[in-house]
Chain A
């Protein structure tokens, strides 16, 4: 009975989302306030229904209700409670449910926190989000119903893919989806503005905090995914340029461009068409990511289940959403007039350059990801490109990006002079150069040009950000939260650059064969192998190795990599042994039993690896601070007053 309640709730939510999508538009057309007000009630009811549906599915997992096919396929009684809950979004149907639930949650939040925004704008925004939601819910109801039953009821379920039984992955998809779906708010505001024809800077002001928050979630989501891949896949890498990773990186790149471009449109009234386009792209790329992951068009280590029939549905949905948005753009954009004039030497130019670089990076990732499809479509053969391609393009592109990132902050809006810029940046430039030259000479075993370049970029980005906050004229403590946010986010980027550079240049790894008692020396550490024993886990049996790391004869770390066997029909899993540190990670993975107690082992020494993710955390914190700045609320209220006054005059 209970699963049917979830199913009915989902159907009701679908009906309500259609109402939410259509009725406010009718109200908009006729100007009837009452009809537009339907949007707010509809979204509340719809959120309630989605919460019921999601709660029911979660309950089915907790209660081990294997009559629900999705539960039986992804959970069993031996699975610990936390993974039974995270299994709700562990596979296709449930992750769609989560997607739709998050979408309605964003829409509810928009309706709740937008009381100062004119009703007709909110009605339009909610209507667009309702239509997107209706698309996703019909996708679920027609092709992937999570509540479908099966008879006879199996006594035991199949269990969750062992790769997914992990705390990092329990929260990674919700974070990522919060980001993906969060871009629907900026998208909805952009479409609403285009549809309404009133294309001043107001929409950008309303959309900014939402976009920032979505970007924060996406940043955290990507960092979590990278961290998970590092410790769970057992290959020691933190980024693989895998199609699924790329699918999340693309919206992030465009989203980063968007939050900066929105700032220009809002503050200076420039880049109007460009910002609209980026808002459409950021969400379209989120949809494209869903398509790539779910359709099986591209193969990937992460794409666990795929189905071309579903792919076709998403493709048509993508065409409907993105095609109509871009048509609307082509129709409305020529009427746009940017009001903010700016000189060549100005912050606007800096932001424009970086916007273009970010978009070019995104196109690179897109082309590289789709390359196997492109060559096959052109009948060139089965080519693929791997990480070397992405590195060869992304690294050179990031150098001008970081340079302009620093100059952009120091430049003034509208008009500036090269002399002033030079005077402003000279000190920072000298300091960065000193850091980039001296640090490698003092600290590193050898002088690596790549390391010097990376450190130069990192210190330039960090120091310009610091300088910007200090030199604003006001005391740094009286500055708006948004400025502090931007500074912290830039410093976070600098940290990530440092981490990426150092781990790429000084990473050492080795595959070795060790007998119990034997040692191997890597990067100054002595790894002693003490053999392997068998241990019993909650739902697996594992071979557990013991490795001790010694520095100058002193024991500094103990690592226990495992090889887990989850029983028939499930693949074995390698669980790495990691000793984490702020300045270096030691990483050991078990290979295979070579007989006589000897094992093949993979050992790594990764300096500054954690900085990559710490930087991402700082970026997220910075984004959050910017989103919470009071300024938005004040200005949004002012805009709303003006708009309402205009309406009353007319």
Chain B
């Protein structure tokens, strides 16, 4: 009798809907920032009172912007990987200290070490908004012309270094300014 298949049919419809809902995930869409110039900012530097940092200071070289905070747990896992990346490639990484307090950030860096080239303080998270930061950590690769070439969401892993970041950094270094 067909009527006994009705519940199954309804369930299949429901699953199709839920499957659609999962596929509808906004995370899978690539960032609109790729290929665009890095948004400008002028932020105070941690450990250097009175000095500021802006993307223009980094013009002419390949660099990374790593968004982190002392309250972010995944950043701890990422910290060792970031340090390794600098050791392997000698790349300059600017840390964007996001929605944090200077004291907490310094304590964190004293504990784990400070691998960064420089740290820009974005206490209010305004710059984060300009850069499309939605969560911490996030990492951007910027080329010699100041264009964003890659955005990595979530902690960078050792695998990411091998498959994604190191090859890209080497290609970008080969490009002319």
Contact = CB atoms under 8 A, between A and B. Distances in A.
Interface in A537-583: 567-570
Interface stretch (B65-73, B137-145, B163-171): B65-73
Given A152-B112, A330-B4, A570 B71 contact: yes
Question: Looking at B4, B12, B104, which has the most chain A CB atoms within 10 Å of its CB?
Answer: B4
A567 B80 CA distance: 26
A570 B70 CA distance: 12
Given A273-B4, A373-B17, A568 B11 contact: no
B7 to A, nearest CB: 5
A157 interface: yes
A297 interface: yes
B20 A315 contact: no
Contacts of A69: 73, 77
Sort chain B's interface into a size bin.
20 to 34
Contacts of B1: 334
B69 A370 contact: no
A154 B8 contact: no
Contacts of B27: 308
B18 A315 contact: yes
A277 interface: yes
A572 to B, nearest CB: 13
A308 B76 contact: no
A295 B17 CA distance: 13
B104 to A, nearest CB: 6
A292 B72 CA distance: 26
A374 interface: yes
Contacts of A329: 4, 7-8
A356 interface: no
B45 interface: no
A291 B71 CA distance: 29
Nearest to A376: B24
Interface stretch (A9-17, A215-223, A316-324, A586-594): A316-324
B7 A373 contact: no
Contacts of A322: 11
A318 B19 CA distance: 11
A567 B100 CA distance: 9
Q: Give chain A's interface residue range (CB within 8 Å of chain B).
A: 35 or more
A477 interface: no
B2 to A, nearest CB: 9
Contact of A569 (B15, B77, B99): B99
Given A334-B4, A569-B100, A308 B22 contact: yes
B106 to A, nearest CB: 13
Contacts of B22: 295, 297, 308, 311-312, 315
A277 B7 contact: yes
B55 to A, nearest CB: 25
B8 A330 contact: yes
> In this complex, which of A72, A155, A308 has the most chain B Cβ atoms within 10 angstroms of its Cβ?
A308
A647 interface: no
Nearest to A567: B71
A403 interface: no
Contacts of A72: 73, 76
Interface in A623-644: none
A326 interface: yes
Interface in B1-39: 1, 4-5, 7-8, 11-12, 14-15, 17-22, 24-25, 27
A158 B101 CA distance: 15
Chain B interface SS verdict (over half): helix
Given A377-B17, A568-B100, A569-B100, A327 B8 contact: yes
A333 interface: yes
B157 to A, nearest CB: 12
B110 to A, nearest CB: 10
Given A297-B18, A315-B18, A568 B70 contact: yes
A276 to B, nearest CB: 10
A541 B132 CA distance: 31
B72 to A, nearest CB: 7
B20 A333 contact: no
A281 B10 CA distance: 12
Contact of A323 (B11, B71, B77, B99): B11
Contacts of B176: none
A243 to B, nearest CB: 11
B105 to A, nearest CB: 9
A333 B80 CA distance: 59
A152 B76 contact: yes
Interface centre among B11, B100, B111 (most CB of A within 10 A): B11
Contacts of B112: 152
Nearest to B25: A308
Interface string B101-117: 10010000001100000
Interface string B36-70: 00000000000000000000000000000000011
Contact of B80 (A151, A318, A323, A334): A151
Interface string A289-333: 001000111100000000010011001001100110011011001
Contact of B15 (A311, A319, A334, A568): A319
B111 to A, nearest CB: 6
Contacts of A121: none
B20 A373 contact: yes
Interface string A153-165: 0110110000000
Contact of B20 (A157, A323, A377): A377
B37 to A, nearest CB: 30
A333 B2 CA distance: 11
A315 B71 contact: no
Contacts of A323: 8, 11-12, 15
B14 to A, nearest CB: 8
19 contacts: A154-B76, A280-B7, A284-B11, A296-B25, A308-B25, A311-B22, A315-B15, A318-B18, A323-B8, A329-B4, A330-B4, A330-B5, A333-B4, A373-B20, A376-B24, A568-B104, A569-B69, A569-B72, A569-B100
Given A329-B8, A376-B24, A569-B69, 4 more contacts: A284-B11, A297-B21, A373-B24, A568-B69
User: Which 8 A-B pairs give the minimum distances between C-beta atoms?
Assistant: A569-B71, A297-B21, A326-B8, A330-B4, A333-B4, A73-B73, A308-B25, A330-B5
